[in-house]
Amino acid sequence: MRPFHSLRAQVTLVVFLTAFIPNVAVSLTLGLFHLDGRLLAWLALVGLISGVSAYIVTGALLRPALRLRAEVDAGTFAASLPDDPSEVQALRSAFTRLVARVHAEQARRAAFMATLVHDLKTPLIATGHLAGVLASPDLPPAERTHLVREMQAETDRLLALVQQMSDAHRFEREDVHLNRAPTDLRALAERVATRARQSAPRLTVTVTGDAHAHIDARVLERAALNLTDNAVRYATRTVTLHVTPHHLCVTDDGPGLSAPLSTLAQPFNAQPTTIAGHQYTAGTAGLGLYIARRIAEAHGGTLAYTHDDTGTHFTLSWAEETA
């Protein structure tokens, strides 16, 4: 550390010079040094005494700040102490809130990574099992074809999760960039519905409404896919996509969310959620909802959730914009 890098040393030097230089200037002005050169030594002693006094006083004044620095280095913060000035108390409170947020974020991301590892392992284990079965030379052709399709489905699931991770990370750091153009919303919804029917043939997936809007079709289709994937996951029998010039609503007959949308639609949410007696890891679902919300916000709209006797409804809205 440089000799006068600390605030305490700087204050001490300033006080010494303030006490010494003006007195020397006055003495020179009055012509006192030709009478007794010992005056210079006396003035230096006065400056030195002033500097030492300043060093002691600044040490006492800076003690709360130095104590706080030690606590920051140790990563622990005590309650406000009686000798803390108001400025140090405010700084202590700010550091305490910051550290609490950092710890909460670290815990949230660590829990999410554990959830993500689980979500990644599931399709990988399934793919490995299917590959082992496919290696059997006595496997009938029809069963082999079925297993290949199952393996492809697991691979698609894994790729979708990786894509969601990439999107969530990007949308968390930067805004969603749009390329708006006139879009046939009915055709967009039909493409999403086709994929849903392929992934869940047990369900009845329908599209209603017929509208056009000036949106980014590629980005909005991704949001609709995420909402539909969640609907397919929890639906009992039916999933419906309804389009209007300003909304796209995905409805299913599932039990609905067990927590507020604002809690689940987070990029690194790993809290499990219980729906209809079954516990689901929220990692994948939370990513999809977060991406859908960010896409809606980029279009000047919102992602809304309601649940009533007719089912669970996720509604994407966007601000009106002409071509």
Q: Are 176 and 313 in a shared domain? A: yes
Q: Is residue 100 assigned to a domain?
A: no
Q: Which of 57, 76, 95 is a domain's end point?
A: 76
Q: Are 171 and 70 in a shared domain? A: no
DSSP secondary structure string for all residues of 252-287: ESS---SS-HHHHS-TT----EEETTEEE-HHHHHH
Q: What stretches of the chain show up as alpha helix (H) in DSSP?
A: 7-30, 38-74, 86-134, 141-173, 185-199, 217-234, 261-264, 282-298
Report d(CA 111, CA 304) in Å as an integer.
Answer: 26
Q: Are 149 and 246 in a shared domain? A: yes
Report d(CA 196, CA 229) in Å as an integer.
Answer: 7
Q: Are 41 and 173 in a shared domain? A: no
pLDDT averaged over the chain? 77
Q: Is residue 71 assigned to a domain?
A: yes
Over residues 115-120, the mean pLDDT reads 68
User: In this structure, what are the phi and psi dihedrals at residue 271, rounded to the nearest 5 degrees?
Assistant: -70, 130
Spatial CA neighbour of 216 closest among 310, 300, 136, 290: 300
Domains held by the chain: number: 2
- Structural domain harbouring 68: 7-76
Q: Are 264 and 201 in a shared domain? A: yes
Q: Is residue 91 assigned to a domain?
A: no
Distance of CA 261 to the CA centre of its chain: 16
Q: Which of 76, 98, 130 is a domain's end point?
A: 76
Report d(CA 104, CA 270) in Å as an integer.
Answer: 12
Tokens of 95: 């550091």
The sign of the dihedral angle between the CA atoms of 147, 148, 152, 155 is positive
- pLDDT recorded at residue 278: 46
Q: Is residue 245 assigned to a domain?
A: yes
- pLDDT recorded at residue 248: 96
- pLDDT recorded at residue 1: 47
Q: Is residue 309 assigned to a domain?
A: yes
Which has the higher per-residue pLDDT, 176 or 187? 187
- pLDDT recorded at residue 147: 83
Over residues 103-124, the mean pLDDT reads 72
Report d(CA 221, CA 137) in Å as an integer.
Answer: 42
Q: Is residue 198 assigned to a domain?
A: yes
Strands 204-208 and 238-243: parallel
Q: Are 174 and 304 in a shared domain? A: yes
Residue 316 belongs to a domain with what CATH number?
Answer: 3.30.565.10
Helix (H, G, I), strand (E, B) or coil at 183: strand
Q: Is residue 243 assigned to a domain?
A: yes
Q: Are 55 and 115 in a shared domain? A: no
- pLDDT recorded at residue 48: 75
Answer yes or no: are the C-beta atoms of 87 and 121 closer than 8 Å: no
130-172 pLDDT, tens per residue? Answer: 888 888 888 888 888 888 888 887 787 777 777 767 776 676 6
Q: Are 61 and 120 in a shared domain? A: no
Q: Are 128 and 264 in a shared domain? A: yes
Residue 5 above 50 pLDDT?
yes
207-242 pLDDT, tens per residue? Answer: 999 999 999 998 899 899 989 988 998 899 999 999
84-102 pLDDT, tens per residue? Answer: 777 777 777 777 788 788 8
Q: Are 33 and 120 in a shared domain? A: no
Over residues 191-197, the mean pLDDT reads 93
Helix (H, G, I), strand (E, B) or coil at 12: helix
Q: Is residue 99 assigned to a domain?
A: no
Q: Are 19 and 165 in a shared domain? A: no
Report d(CA 39, CA 21) in Å as an integer.
Answer: 13
Q: Are 127 and 265 in a shared domain? A: yes
119 CB-near residues (< 8 Å, 6+ apart):
161, 281, 283, 284
Q: Binning pLDDT at 50, 70 and 90, where does residue 282 land?
A: very low
- pLDDT recorded at residue 187: 96
Degrees to nearest 5, angle at CA 69 with 66 and 73: 140
288-319 pLDDT, tens per residue? Answer: 888 888 889 989 999 999 988 889 999 999 99
48-88 pLDDT, tens per residue? Answer: 777 777 777 776 666 777 777 777 777 676 666 676 777 77
230-279 pLDDT, tens per residue? Answer: 899 889 999 999 999 999 999 999 888 766 676 666 655 555 554 444 44
- pLDDT recorded at residue 214: 94
